[in-house]
Amino acid sequence: MSNERQQRAARAEQMRKQREKSDRKQRNVITIAIVVVVVALTALGGYAIKSASDDNAKVEDVIKPANATKDFGIVYDAAAAGGSAEADSKPVSVEIYEDFQCPACLQFEQQSGAFLKQQVASGAITITYRPFSFLDELGGSPNDYSKRSTNAALCVLDQGGVADYQKAHDYLYSNQPQEGTAGPENAALVTAMEGLGFTGLDSCIKTEKFVPWVKAAKDKGSDDGVGSTPTVKVAGKVVESPTPASLQQAVEAAQKG
């Protein structure tokens, strides 16, 4: 009997040691898993912070044209239009996301441009042009005319101000190349701007000085939910299929609050 008890005790001791070994192994596995997760989360967090930092650095490194806003806009108001807005007027904000290569933008400009300019001059509205040069990416131009034409207009803005930008803006629409074809090269854009009386832009246009800003403006528009041009907002609200009548209605609604 004594021998049988000893055997049972030995088996029990052996089982206890196996359980302890198994428990230690399980604890080690859990510990390793925790360490792996912590390391992964730390690395991911570091990457996210670095990515955000890199993105911010890229935006901060972009050269902003003089007379443009920090949020990638060009504000055309009564002063720039040569109008006479009353001192206490509260113009309604109209934002236009556009691409000089975009046929629908040209159609919008032809239908609503004169009406909008009259509204600006009277002090009823301000226009914030927001370049959204995306058609190059969709094959709209084989030589990146969307970005390069916008850069040319921004060179004018940088040197002469918003009133001059508006002249370049109107010229580029009036001379829009057919979508899918090569637009004028930079040398031709220099000549075109000189024809409008804007000289000294040779380096700015040919080096495409503001194309990084144009790209950043497009990215900002995409982040804000813009996916096509023209996208028109009145008092922050998108106007679908904008026409002079629908824009007037939206402006009047915004004026009433």
pLDDT digit string, tens, across residues 152-199: 999 999 999 999 999 999 999 999 999 999 999 999 999 999 999 999
230 preceded by a cis bond (ω within 30 of 0): yes
Q: What is the pLDDT of residues 48-103, one digit of tens each?
A: 443 433 344 355 679 999 999 999 999 999 999 998 766 567 999 999 999 999 99
CA 177 vs. chain centroid, Å, equals 24
- Give residue 122's pLDDT band: very low, low, confident or very high (50, 70, 90): very high
The highest-level CATH class for domain 74-256 is alpha beta
Contact 168, 80 (CB under 8 A): no
Rounded mean pLDDT, 114-142: 96
pLDDT for the residue numbered 31:
54
Cβ neighbourhood burial of 170 (10 Å; 0-12, 13-18, 19+): middle
pLDDT for the residue numbered 61:
79
Residue 240 above 50 pLDDT?
yes
pLDDT for the residue numbered 236:
98
Q: What is the pLDDT of residues 12-48, one digit of tens each?
A: 566 666 666 666 666 655 655 564 444 444 445 444 4
CA angle 250, 256, 257 (to 5 degrees): 90
pLDDT for the residue numbered 89:
78
CA distance 92 to 254: 7
Name the pairing type of β-strands 92-98 and 125-131: parallel
pLDDT for the residue numbered 39:
40
Rounded mean pLDDT, 97-126: 97
Rounded mean pLDDT, 220-248: 97
* Higher-pLDDT residue of 83, 221: 221
Where in the chain are the domains? 1-61, 74-256
pLDDT for the residue numbered 28:
56
Nearest to 146 by CA among 155, 157, 136: 136
